Structure 1
Amino acid sequence: MRLATYHHQGLRRSGVVDGEAVLPFPEGTDLLDVVRTGSVPGTGAAVPLAEVRLLPPVEPPSVRDFVTFEEHVEGVRRSVSGAAGVPDAWYDAPTFYFTNPHAMIGAHDDVPVPPGCRALDFELEVAAVIGREGRDLSPERARDHIFGYTIFNDWSARDLQSREMQVGLGPCKGKDSATTLGPWLVTADELEPYRDADGFLRLALTAEVNGVEVGRDLLSNMGWPFEELLAYASRGAWVRPGDVLGSGTCGNGGCLAELWGLRGEQDPPPLKPGDVVTLTVEGIGTVSNTVVPGAVPEPVPPARRRPRDRP
Structure 2
Amino acid sequence: MKLASYKDGSRDGQLVVVSRDLSTAHYATGIADRLQQVLDDWGFLSPQLQDLYETLNQGKARHAFPFDPAQCMSPLPRAYQWADGSAYINHVELVRLARNAKVPENYYTEPLMYQGGSDDFLGPRDDAQFASEDWGIDFEAEVAVVTGDVPMTSTPEQALEGIRLLMLANDWSLRHLIPDELAKSFGFFQSKPATAFSPVAVTPDEFGDAWQGGKLHLTLQTQWNGRTVGMCDAGQEMTFHFGQLIAHICKTRNVRAGSIVGSGTVSNRAVEKDDNKEWVKGYSCIAEKRAIETILDGKPSTEFMKFGDTVRIEMKGKDGQSVFGAIEQKVAKLAG
User: TM tier, shorter chain?
Assistant: 0.7 to 0.9
Q: Which residue of 2 aligns with 1:47?
A: 65
Distance in structure 1 (CA, Å) of the matches to 2:115 and 2:305: 24
Shift of 1:120: 0.3
Given candidates 304, 310, 335, the residue that maps to 1:270 is 304
Q: 1:32 aligns with which of 36, 41, 57?
A: 36
Q: Distance in 2 between matches of 1:275 and 1:126?
A: 22
Q: Is the 8 A contact 2:83 2:114 kept in 1?
A: yes
Taking the TM superposition and a 5 Å limit, the aligned residue runs for 1:133-148 are 133-148=150-165
Q: Give the count of matched residue pairs.
A: 291
How many angstroms does 1:233 deviate by?
1.2
> Which residue of structure 1 lines up, in the alignment, with residue 283 of structure 2?
253
Change in 2 beyond 3 A, CA 1:52/1:277: closer
Superposed, 1:170-181 pairs within 5 Å as: 170-175=187-192, 177-181=193-197
CA distance in 1, matches of 2:142, 2:231: 12
In the superposition, the TM-score normalised over structure 1's length comes to 0.86
More divergent stretch after superposition (286-295 vs 235-244): 286-295
CA contact (8 A) 2:15 2:35 kept: yes
**Which residues of 2 match residues 197-208 of structure 1 at below 5 A?**
200-208=215-223
CA distance in 1, matches of 2:134, 2:35: 34
Tell me which residue corresponds to 1:60. Answer: 79
Which residue of the other structure, out of 190, 202, 206, is the alignment partner of 1:190? 206
Instruction: Give the superposition deviation at 1:115.
Output: 5.0
Q: Match of 1:247, as an amino acid?
A: S
1:166 and 2:183 aligned:
yes
| Aligned CA distance change for structure 1 residues 273 and 114 (closer, same or farther; 3 Å) | same
Measure how far apart 1:274 and its partner are.
Answer: 0.9
1:130 is matched with which residue: 147, 155, 160?
A: 147
Could you state the TM-score of these two structures normalised by the residue count of structure 2?
0.80
1:237 matched to 2:253? The reply is yes
Contact 1:75 1:257 survives alignment (8 Å): no
Q: 2:105 aligns with which of 62, 80, 88?
A: 88
> 1:4 aligned to 2:4?
yes
Q: How far did residue 267 of structure 1 move?
A: 3.7
Are the equivalent residues in 1 in contact too, given 2:308–2:330 (CA < 8 A)? yes
For 1:256, the aligned partner's letter is I
Give 2:18's aligned amino acid: V
Amino acid at match of 1:35: L
Instruction: Confirm whether residue 224 of structure 1 aligns to residue 240 of structure 2.
Output: yes
State percent identity of aligned pairs: 29
Measured after TM superposition, the shift of residue 191 of structure 1 is 2.4
Shift of 1:74: 2.0
Indicate the SS of the match to 1:103: coil
Higher strand proportion (structure 1 or 2): 1
Structure 2 SS opposite 1:171: coil
| Cα pair distance change 1:52/1:71, threshold 3 Å | closer
Secondary structure of residue in 2 paired with 1:260:
helix
For 2:300 and 2:223, locate their aligned partners in 1 and report how far apart those are by CA, in whole Å. 16
1:85, CA displacement in angstroms?
4.6
The residue type equivalent to 1:255 in the other structure is C
Q: Give distance in 1, aligned partners of 2:284 and 2:70.
A: 29
Between stretches 57-66 and 257-266, larger displacement belongs to 257-266
Q: Is residue 129–residue 243 contact of structure 1 (8 Å, CA) maintained in 2?
A: yes
Q: CA deviation at 1:266?
A: 4.3
Q: Cα offset for 1:206?
A: 1.5
2:90 counterpart of 1:97:
no
